[in-house]
Amino acid sequence: MNAGHQTTRRLAAGAGKSICRSCRDSLSRNYASAAAAAVQTEDHVSQHIPPVAQASPQTSYQVNAGVVLSRPPQITRDLHPFESAFFLYQRRLNERSALPFTRYFYYKERTPADREWKRKIKQRLTPARDIGRYKGYGEEAWNDEVLVGAKESDFNWQVERLLEDAETTGVEDQPAQELTETTPSPLAQKKVEHEAVERPMSRITEADKKNDVKSLNRLLQRTLYFLVKNKEGQWMFPQDGLQKETLKEAAHRVLEYSAGVNMNTWIVGNVPIGHYQLDYPTSRKTESGLNELGLKTFFMKARIMAGQANLKENQFGLQDFQWLAKEEVKTQVEDKYWRSIKNMLAER
C-alpha cells in the first residue's frame, strides 16, 4: 500500500462520515502522485551523483630528488659514409668548375704564391691533393666519380694528404737548374727544411683504448651520464629524499653530498624532466605514523662544466661511479628503472 492510500485511510478514520467519497478519491490521487514524484526525484539524484571516494590520509609516497648529470659531446660526430661521399663529390665538382679559370685569376703572376703553386702542382698532379688525382682535360675528363670503397673517400686518408701537402715545400724534386731560376741563390745552396706542421689530435683517446669508464675524456662524440652504485649495490642516478626545499635546491645538495665539491655543474631549468616510481611489496610505517607505499623520484637535468667526481666523503654510502653513454647505462640499471629513464637520455 502506497503513501497516498495510507494518508486517505487516516483522514477517513479521523473524520468519520463527514468526508464525501469524491473528496476521499481526490485526496488519494493527489497524495499518491506526490509520493511517486518524490521517489523518482530520489532515484534520479542517486543515479547522477556518484559517491565521493575520499583518499585515506594514512598512506603516502616518499618524494626523492634525482639528478641526471651529463657531459655533452666535445667533438663533432664521425661522418656517415653517405655524407663523406657527398662532401668529396662536392669538392671534386668545385675543382672541376674552377679548372677553366687560369691560375692568374687566383694568384698574381711572378709572386711567391704563384711560384709555390707551380712547384707544388708537379708533385700533386692535381690542384687539390686530398681529393685524389683528377685530369680535367682529355678524353677521360668526364670520369670524375669516386667508386665505392675508394681510398679517396676515407677521412683519414684525406687528412694525411693535406698534412703531406702542408709539409712539403715544392722544391724537393726540382732539378738544380730550375731551382736556381725560381729560388734566390743563397737559399738554393741551403738544405731544404720542412715546415713544422701541427698534426690534429686523434679522435680516439687513451681513455677509449683503456675503456676507462671513470674518465670524462672518453667517447668525445657522445653524451656521458653520471651513474653511481648505492649502498645496496644498485646502479642509478644520484638521489635523496626531498626536504624543506625545492627540487632545484635539492639537486644542488644531492650533487654536493654524492660527488663532492670539485665539480663545476649547472642545473638546467626549474622543473623535472621525468620521474620513477617504486612500489614497496608491503607498506612501511614512518615516524609520523603514515603507511609509506613506495617512493617517487623526480629527476632534474644538470651539466658538468669542469672537475671530476670524488666519492671519498660522500654522505649517501655510494660505492662507485661511472660515466656512461646511453646504451651503456641500459646494461647497468634494472629493467624497470631503464624504462622510466630511457626517454630522458639523448641518443648522441
State mean pLDDT over 200-222: 93
CA distance 328 to 212: 13
User: Looking at the whole model, is its pTM more than 0.85?
Assistant: no
Among 12-16, 55-59, 136-140, 298-302, whose mean pLDDT is lowest?
Answer: 12-16
Q: According to the model, what pLDDT value does residue 302 have?
A: 96
What is the average pLDDT across 289-318?
A: 92
Examine the pLDDT at 124 and tell me if it is beyond 70: yes
The pLDDT of 109-123, averaged and rounded, is 82
Q: Is the pLDDT of residue 107 over 70?
A: yes
Task: Calculate mean pLDDT across residues 98-114.
Answer: 83
- Cell of residue 263, nine digits: 665539480
Q: Which residues pair with 60 in a beta bridge?
A: 292
131 compared with 243, residue with greater pLDDT: 243
Q: Give the orientation angle of helix 3-15 with respect to helix 21-48, to 10 degrees.
A: 150
Q: What is the pLDDT of residue 282?
A: 87
- Mean of the per-residue pLDDT values for the chain? 79
The contacts of residue 84 (CB under 8 Å, 6+ apart) are: 153, 154, 155
Residue, of 64 and 180, whose pLDDT is higher: 64
Per-residue confidence band for 164, with pLDDT thresholds at 50, 70 and 90: confident
